[in-house]
Amino acid sequence: MLPYKSLIQLNRDSNVSLYVQLCNNFIQLITNGTLKPSDILPSTRVLSELTGISRNTVKVAYEELMSQGWAESVERKGIFVLSKLPELSEKRKQTSIIPLKDQTESFIWNNPFSKTFAAEDFQKSILTIDDGFPDVRLTPVDLLMREYRSISKRFYGKNFLKYGDPKGSEHLRIALCRYLSETRGLAVTPENIIITKGSQMGIYLATQLLLTPGDKIAVGSSNYRSADDIFKHTGASLLRIPVDENGMDIDNLTDILQKQKIKAVYIIPHHHFPTTVTMSMDRRLKLLKLAEEYGFAVIEDDYDYDFHYNNKPYVPLASIDHNRNVIYIGSITKTFAPALRIGFLISSSQFTNACASLRQLIDKQGDSLLEEAFSSLYDTGEMERHFRKSIKIYKQRRDLFCEILEANFRDAITFKIPEGGLAVWSLFDKKINLKELAVRAEKKGLKIPDGTFYNNEVFKPNGLRLGFASINEKEIEHSLSILQQII
C-alpha cells in the first residue's frame, strides 16, 4: 500500500471541508500518475486511522470521488480508481518537481514578446524618480469613489452593472466633448469617441486597423518605446524621422514620401517622449498638408496636454485637421492616476465603431461605473479644479527640481527647463553608466530609470526622463541629494 499518511496533506485550519480536501488529494494522486486505473483505495477504516479523520468523512470523500467520475465501487471488493481512466505517463508524474527554468514547453506557441520590456512596478514603497507620472496623493480619489458609490446606489445605477456600449459611457463621452471643445478647440460628437483603458489601448486599436505586415509607419528617431513595440507586433516597418528642438523633421519626412509609400505617422507633438520637445506650428501645418496630399493617417498621441506651465499650449493637430486624417489619442490616466485606466480615441464614427468591434474581442467593455463617476467629476467641474491645483503644485516642483539640477549637477547633467509635462529630459555625462547608477541608487533607497527604455536602433542617448511631479519638495531635495552622492 502507498504511504498515504505522508502523501495526503490535510489542513484542519482551512475553510475548505476535510472531505473536499481528501477528495482533492486523491484527484492529485490520480492525475500525477501515483494512482493508476483500477488501483484499489484504502478502506474507510484504514484511511481514517492513517489521516486521523472520521470514517464518515472518508466515506463522503469517496462518494464525491465517484460522483465526479474518478473512482468506482465494486461490490464486496471495495473502492477502485475508475478503470476507464487513461493511464498517465511517468513524465507527467514528475513534472511538478522539475525546476521551472528546466521545464520544456508542452506545446508549440509563438512568442513575439521575448525582447519586450516588462512594465515597471511602481506600487512598492520606495523613494522614486519616475519618468513622469502625476502625484496620486493629489488625486481627489475620495470624490471619485463617492460618485462611484452614489451612482451604484441609485435605482438607475444598477443598469451600469450590465453590459453597455463598447465605446464606453455615453455620459463620459458627452463630458469629454464639452471639455475638449473648451480646452483644445476640438469639435467632436460622442460618436467620434471610444473610451479606452488608457492611451496604450488606443494606440493598439488604431494600429490593428491601420497596419498590416509590410506596411510602413513613420515615427520619431526618439520615440515612445511601447508604441514602437505595438507597431512592430503588426509586422509593420518603422521609418525613423529625426527629432530636434522643434519636433519631428517634416522636411525629412517629405523626402521619404517622394520615394516610398507610408501608411501612417505616429507623433507626440505636445511634450515629445522622451525628449519633452514641442512641435512647432509650421511643422504641424506641413504635416497635415502632407497627410492630405499622400493619404496617410496621423496618430496623434497627446498623453499629457493638460499640464503646461508657461504659455498657453498649441492646439492639437486634431483641432486644425479639416481633412480628418488625424486619429487623436488622449489619457485621463496620465493626468489623474496611472492605475485608473481611462483614456480615449477620437476619429470618424466609422473608425471608432470598428475600434469598438475590435476591442470587444479582447475586452467586452470598460468599467461602466468608473466611467460614469468620471463623467460626474467633469460635470461638476472637479476635474478642472484638480488640474488647476495640480498645475500650480507641479510648476513649483519643476522649478525647484531644475534649480537643484542647475546648482548641483552642472558638470554631470545637461537639460532644458520643460514648458510642460511632468519630467525633465536629462542628458548625463558620457562617463556615467546609467545602468550602474540605477543599481547604486536603489542600494541607497532611491529608484530611478536606467535609460534602456528610451533606446532603439538609432537612438541611444545617455539620458533619463527625470520625473518631478510625483514627489513633493522634501522628497525632491532628498532624492537629488542621493543622486548627487552616487554620481
Residue 296 C-alpha cell reads as 496617410
Whether residues 470 and 407 fall in one domain: yes
> Do 182 and 304 have their domain in common?
yes
Q: Looking at the structure, do residues 197 and 234 belong to the same domain, yes or no?
A: yes
User: Which of 327, 351, 382 finishes a domain?
Assistant: 382
Of 348, 382, 416, which residue is a domain's last?
A: 382
DSSP assignment of 228-275: HHHHHHTTPEEEEE-EETTEE-HHHHHHHHTTS--SEEEE--SS-TTT
Residue 143 lies in a domain: no
* Domain containing residue 63: 4-96
* 28 assigned to some structural domain: yes
Query: Tell me, what amino acid is at 430?
Result: K
- Residue 320 buriedness (CB in 10 A; 0-12 / 13-18 / 19+): middle
Q: Specify the pTM.
A: 0.82
Residue 107 included in any domain:
no
CATH number at residue 56: 1.10.10.10
Q: Same domain for 199 and 326?
A: yes
Are residues 197 and 73 part of one domain? Answer: no
Co-location of 406 and 346 in the same domain: no
Same domain, 345 and 428: no
- Clarify whether residues 308 and 346 are in a common domain: yes
CATH number at residue 450: 3.90.1150.10
Residues 374 and 389 in one domain: no
Per-residue confidence (pLDDT) for residue 93, from 0 to 100 = 47
* Residue at which a domain ends, from 366, 382, 398: 382
Whether residues 184 and 227 fall in one domain = yes
Query: Does residue 293 lie within any of the structural domains?
Result: yes
357: in domain? yes
Give domain status of residue 377, yes or no: yes
Residuewise pLDDT in 10s, the chain (487 residues): 789 888 999 999 999 999 999 999 999 999 888 999 999 999 999 999 999 999 999 999 999 999 999 999 998 899 999 999 988 765 544 445 555 555 666 677 777 776 666 666 555 668 999 999 999 898 888 888 888 788 877 767 677 667 778 899 999 999 999 999 999 999 999 999 999 998 999 999 999 999 999 999 999 999 999 999 999 999 999 999 999 999 999 999 999 999 999 999 999 999 999 999 999 999 999 999 999 999 999 999 998 888 888 877 889 999 999 999 999 999 887 777 777 888 999 999 999 999 999 999 988 777 888 888 889 999 999 989 999 999 999 999 999 999 999 999 999 999 999 998 999 999 999 999 999 999 999 999 999 999 999 999 999 999 999 999 999 999 999 999 999 999 9
Rounded to an integer, what distance in angstroms lies between the CA atom of residue 159 and that of residue 147? Answer: 16
Furthest-apart CA atoms within the chain: distance in Å = 93
Residue 139 belongs to some domain of the structure: no
User: The cell 522614486 sits on which residue?
Assistant: 128
Do 392 and 364 share a domain, yes or no?
A: no
Cα–Cα distances in Å, from 110 out to 113, 172, 201, 403?
9, 38, 22, 49
What are the φ and ψ backbone dihedral angles of 137, each rounded to 5 degrees? -70, -20
Nearest Cα neighbor of 115 from 192, 229, 267, 4 is 229
Q: What is the pLDDT of residue 223?
A: 96
Q: What is the CATH number of the domain that holds 322?
A: 3.40.640.10
Q: How many domains are contained in the chain? A: 3
> Is 446 part of any domain?
yes
Same domain, 325 and 427: no
